[in-house]
Structure 1
Amino acid sequence: MNNEKLIEAVREHEVLYDLSHSKYIDSTYKDTIWKAIGKDLQQEGQVCKTRWNNIRDNFRKSMRKNITKSGQAAHKIKKYKYQDQLEFLKPHLQERDTMTNLEND
């Protein structure tokens, strides 16, 4: 499967990545879109969805890895393979709140 074509197909369907989209929670609607993307790419829709999730998650991990913490020495940053194509995702990626069992003083 051509990952660049998959990324472009997803970019054209905001409902697949924009949490604020009115139909984002409609899984039936999104499944229909995945089937259409799969047809265009000559793959099963579920295969495209799984591949997209891997690409998106790797992009998110890459971005997280490249954030330098306060007091930490700068390190050489390796750019994620599809970073340029995935720039459209940045406003839509949300980090989950972390939980801790430590109390605040």
Structure 2
Amino acid sequence: MIPINTMNDEKLIEEVRAREILYNKACVGYRVPSRKRDAWVSVAKELGATEEQSSKRWLTLRERFSREVRKMEAPSGSGASNAETRPLFDNMSFLKLYIQPRP
């Protein structure tokens, strides 16, 4: 078991991206817990971590990415800054198609 803060985030993103069931709500099986769990077990195995560690770290990364996207799409003059984005932003850009802002 590895500490979450030393997990290879780029590898995690790559593994999740290869398993659409983990991020695409339109994917067949997205709402089937056993299939999603199997996908997380597979991701964890590739990372040498636990299923819980992998899924929690992904949730953190995805939420951070969503906040960055909202900042970038904020109207001009709203105080949002485009100057600095997170290092993994480009790796996670595939999620833009699947993130729907709340009203």
* Alignment RMSD: 1.7
| Equivalent position to 1:4, from 6, 10, 14 | 10
- Deviation track 1:51-82 (CA, whole Å, cap 9, x = no partner) reads 00000000000111122325547745211221
Partner of 2:51: 45
Question: 2:99 matched to 1:93?
Answer: yes
Distance 1:65 1:71, change over 3 A: closer
Calculate the TM-score normalised by the size of structure 1: 0.84
- Deviation track 1:1-42 (CA, whole Å, cap 9, x = no partner) reads 100000000000011011111111111110111011111111
Calculate the TM-score normalised by the size of structure 2: 0.85
Partner of 1:80: 86
**Equivalent residues of 2:71, 2:81 under 8 A apart:** no
Distance 1:88 1:74, change over 3 A: closer
Partner of 1:65: 71
For 1:75 and 1:26, the matched residues in 2 are separated by 39
Distance 1:36 1:81, change over 3 A: same
For 2:54 and 2:39, the matched residues in 1 are separated by 11
Q: How many residues align?
A: 97
Partner of 2:28: 22
Q: Percent identity?
A: 33
**Equivalent residues of 2:71, 2:82 under 8 A apart:** no
Q: Which runs of 4+ in 1 moved over 2 A?
A: 70-77
Which runs of 5 or more structure 1 residues have no equivalent in the other structure? 98-105
